[in-house]
Amino acid sequence: MKHLLKMLDLSTQEITETLDLADQLKYELKHNIPHPRLAGKTLGLIFEKASTRTRVSFEVGMYQLGGLPIFLSAHDMQIGRGEPVQDTARVLSRYLNGIMIRTFKQSEVEALAKNGTIPIINGLTDFSHPCQILADLMTIREKRGALDGLKMCFIGDGNNMMNSLIVGGLKMKMEVAVACPADYRPAAEVLDFAQAYPAFSMTTDPLEAAVGADVVITDVWASMGQEEEAAKRRKAFAGYQINDKVMAAAKPDAMVLHCLPAHRGEEITAEVFEKHSEEIFEEAENRLHAQKAVLVKLLG
Ligand code: CP
Ligand code: NVA
């Protein structure tokens, strides 16, 4: 593992090793065992979009590992005034030991990795959100003991979360069923990958996707950058809510995950959200542990 750019790049073994290390780091933190595995290392955090969880968990994680996080708002950087990403990569490679970037285009993240000489971590693009998927897989494995053979159901937009969960779930030998409107399917690259797996299915019917699910997952209907489409999307996704009916189709003890922020009354009802809030906030906590594992693997 040289970078974390998208789930498609990771092998099953790399995902498993990362989750194992995340469990270990969580244990060390909970038992007050110092773990300064990145003493003296620096991580730049470039944000071209808003963030609560990603920013705070990377900054705290880097501090707990003995390193230094440096928050870089794209609005205050020359990148925001048009300095090419290729030049930014070559300059920052001379100061930092790693970069996390949250931006719009996946190609920008790939360009940083190609032109720089240090590990690049994707902190979310329009195409993928690998840090979140590692935390989600960690949470499911923690609650259920294993991933193999469990059914994951994602209901909603074919966005960065759906793209990445399909790939992560299938690589970890889960059954993956997604439900989305015909005009909001996951990326072609992801569907190409998924078609080879008999354990993958896609439908426009949320109840069909939810049947027998062990984990039901959703995300916002309008992602960052799609604010102007919000009204149109509210109409298109009106039948794609995680509610009691969907949960009745899933296994009686099914988990619910949401990467947050959540819009109660849109993609999930307030009742289902609150009933599963312990799982959802454990998932948010696991961002910290999963990302620390990624940092140790890439920068250690
Ligand atoms: N889930 C997630 O990535 O949250 P933030 O946008 O707050 O970082
Ligand atoms: N799909 C959402 C995820 C936020 C963590 C977005 O891209 O805005």
SS3 for 283? Answer: helix
- Is 234 part of any known ligand binding site? no
Cα–Cα distances in angstroms (integers) from residue 170 to residues 1, 283, 288, in the given order: 19, 19, 23
The CA distances from residue 139 to 143, 165, 225, 278, in Å, are 6, 13, 28, 11
185 is catalytic: no
Does ipTM top 0.90?
yes
| Residue 80's pLDDT band (cuts 50, 70, 90) | confident
Percentage of the chain lying above the pLDDT 70 cut: 100
Q: How confident is the model at residue 295 (pLDDT cuts 50, 70, 90)?
A: very high
Is 234 a known active-site residue? no
Indicate if 287 belongs to the active site.
yes
Kindly state the tokens that stand for 260: 């947050």
Rg value, the chain, Cα: 19
User: SS3 of 255, please?
Assistant: strand
**Angle, vertex CA 242, rays to CA 240 and CA 248, nearest 5:** 115
State pLDDT tens for residues 205-229.
999 999 999 999 999 999 999 999 9
Strands 215-218 and 175-179: unpaired
Ligand-binding site membership of 224 (annotated): yes
- At residue 288, the pLDDT reads 99
Q: Is 64 annotated as a binding residue?
A: no
Contact 81, 87 (CB under 8 A): no
Q: Is the CB of 124 under 6 A from ligand 1?
A: yes
- To the question of whether residue 57 is assigned a binding role by annotation, the answer is no
Strands 200-203 and 175-179: parallel
Q: Which of 219, 276, 289, 291 is catalytic?
A: 219
Is any ligand 1 atom within 6 A of the Cβ of residue 53? Answer: yes
User: Given ligand 1 and candidates 46, 47, 51, which is best to mutate, with the most ligand atoms within 8 Å of its CB?
Assistant: 51
Active site residue 233: no
| Nearest-CA residue for atom 7 of ligand 1 | 52
- The per-residue pLDDT for range 101-118, each reduced to its tens digit, is 999 999 999 999 999 999
Distance CA 193, CA 179 (A): 17
Q: What is the pTM of this model?
A: 0.98
Q: Please tell me the predicted confidence (pLDDT) of residue 164.
A: 98
219 is a catalytic site residue: yes
